[in-house]
Amino acid sequence: MAMQKIFAREILDSRGNPTVEVDLHTAKGRFRAAVPSGASTGIYEALELRDGDKARYLGKAFNVINGGSHAGNKLAMQEFMILPVGASSFKEAMRIGAEVYHHLKGVIKAKYGKDATNVGDEGGFAPNILENNEALELLKTAIQAAGYPDKVVIGMDVAASEFYRNGKYDLDFKSPDDPARRITGEKFGELYKSFIKNYPVVSIEDPFDQDDWATWTSFLSGVDIQIVGDDLTVTNPKRIAQAVEKKACNCLLLKVNQIGSVTESIQACKLAQSNGWGVMVSHRSGETEDTFIADLVVGLCTGQIKTGAPCRSERLAKYNQLMRIEEALGDKAVFAGRKFCNPKAK
């Protein structure tokens, strides 16, 4: 059978390292294969050829530190993310994200030992740290080490409902209960403001409990960053409308299976966008290798997707699909970059 066309592209493997994927076209259709790599290799194996350019890839919004319910460490806040907003394309953003991720691994290993580089549910590292600002400091160090302080900013998913106890927030909820360690929503808001002042934090998801409406509203009025509703809004038009009325947040986290259908998810997205909100399409912690949300984020033109670290195949599947989409769109592809809150802005 004759080959009609063969096309090779660069993708990322399950460790977030670059590899090759090839499309082979024949009269019977398109056939695709990608190249894996081993960690322990025999001396008689076929030789692996890589360019070895460490300035390009040291080993990649990416969730790179896990805490909360997604990891077995003591960290209360659930996700610490990097956003390569200074990239000019999605492919470049992937490269920058991968480099920061691998530098972060080195920073954590040097400070806490190899065991601290184990990963959580979404592929982020899960060092056994307690103080949330310590996670931010690790990210800041990794971003600088990778050489991208002007191109990478930080996002957080706090999932504060997980540690809301009797009207206060327990930042040490994984330890034996101690009411003395709980803080009020007002004090919690001041902690966030210190993060925003000292680190390039531009987005915070679920900073307060899903029913702590007054604190959400008060906090949003005092900051100029993206505040994302997940547990607050659950992709439900009724909760979105309530959040709009109360001016509680300015971005919707869109999870298709929260509301139950693609049609309802699109309606929720349109409602949020019509009220001037941003929209971030999201994975779930228990993911599959289905890539639908990669197509959804492009189709809805939301400019933001959250689908984990550049590690684990169920996370990389979405990122690799987005690189294929960007490749297929060619000159028509637009990377939101610093306009991620409002990707349609001119």
SS (H, E, C) 231-254: CCCCCCHHHHHHHHHHCCCCEEEE
Q: Which residues pair with 125 in a beta bridge?
A: 65, 119
* Cα–Cα distance measured from residue 46 to residue 44, given in angstroms and rounded to the nearest whole number: 7
> What phi and psi, each to the nearest 5 degrees, are found at residue 54?
-70, -15
Cβ partners under 8 Å of residue 323, min gap 6: 9, 10, 11, 90, 91, 94
* Cα–Cα distance measured from residue 280 to residue 88, given in angstroms and rounded to the nearest whole number: 19
Single-letter residue type at 193: K
Residue whose tokens read 């390292």: 17
Beta strand segments in the chain, E: 3-12, 18-26, 29-34, 62-66, 79-83, 153-157, 164-165, 168-170, 182-183, 201-205, 226-229, 251-254, 278-282, 305-306
- Whether the CB-CB separation of 100 and 200 falls below 8 Å is answered with no
* Cα–Cα distance measured from residue 167 to residue 212, given in angstroms and rounded to the nearest whole number: 8
Strand duo 226-229 + 251-254: pairing: parallel
Best CA proximity match to 283, nearest among 260, 307, 305: 307
Rg (C-alpha) for the chain, rounded Å, is 21
- Whether the CB-CB separation of 310 and 99 falls below 8 Å is answered with no
Residues tagged active-site: 122, 255
168: left (phi over 0), alpha (psi -120 to 50) or beta: beta
Single-letter residue type at 30: R
- Whether the CB-CB separation of 263 and 286 falls below 8 Å is answered with no
